[in-house]
Amino acid sequence: MNSHTSQATVAVSDIDDLLQDLVHANHILSNEGVLDAFGHVSVRHPERPERFLLARNMAPGLVGMEDIIEFDLDGTPIDADGRSVYLERFIHGEIYRARPDVMAVVHSHSPSVVPFSAVKSTPLKPMCHMSGFLGEGAPIFEIRDVAGAATDLLIRSAPLGESLAHSLGDNNVVLMRGHGATVTGPTLKQAVYRAVYVEVNARLQADALRLGPVEYLTREEANTAMEMIEGQVERPWQLWKRRAQARR
């Protein structure tokens, strides 16, 4: 086998491994209660950064390798072959366009997070070391500001996706008023970790607020905790993957 053939084989193997991880990501997020019949997770194509991989329009818990479709950043499917696609694929394409550092995106209607999207006086902020990725707090995207007062709250076009990406800025998480949240990561596994723990943080924060004023992490604590904890992302990934596989 010559070096070119060897490199091509490795490349194909890497893509296959990433596709399998994307399938696992769908199952994990469904099993952990972050996604249900709705929501989606994508990963940037490792060889073509102007494209991303996302399942066809279906419940995340049912996704298989054969359901993954490649898209360009405009949200146009490359190989759909007649399969229906997610209406809100523009969330993914426009964030990848705006943020070259982002390698994976999760959009969810995470139940403990949604209330924080609608109560603007109480921002979602990191209150435990597991959620340092929240930094100084998650901004809220207000769709009324860009599309008026009669939308269905969905990101159904590239301009809306661009506006959402603008609200995200350089943060890791953006809330969507009355809708849910979009979480980003420098790897697929980190994005999944963050999507799970933004739900955990929201639940803990709501509980803590009933007790009294909350002492949140400082920006420096959040950054240090994020670097420390996410360096061990394989640990929760393997647990969550095993747990999701056991339920299939």
- Phi, psi (5° rounding) for residue 103? -110, -10
- Phi, psi (5° rounding) for residue 40? -160, 160
The letter for the amino acid at 206 is A
Say which of 32, 47, 88, 230 is annotated catalytic. Answer: 88
The CB density around residue 36, as the number of other CB atoms within 10 Å, is 15
Q: 119: which 2 tokens?
A: 């109560």
Spell out the residues 6+ positions from residue 219 whose beta carbon is closer than 8 angstroms to its own.
135, 136
Kindly state the helix (H) or strand (E) to which residue 107 belongs, with its residue range: strand 104-108
Q: 116: which 2 tokens?
A: 């924080």
Would you call 88 a catalytic residue per the annotation? Answer: yes
Active site amino acids: 88
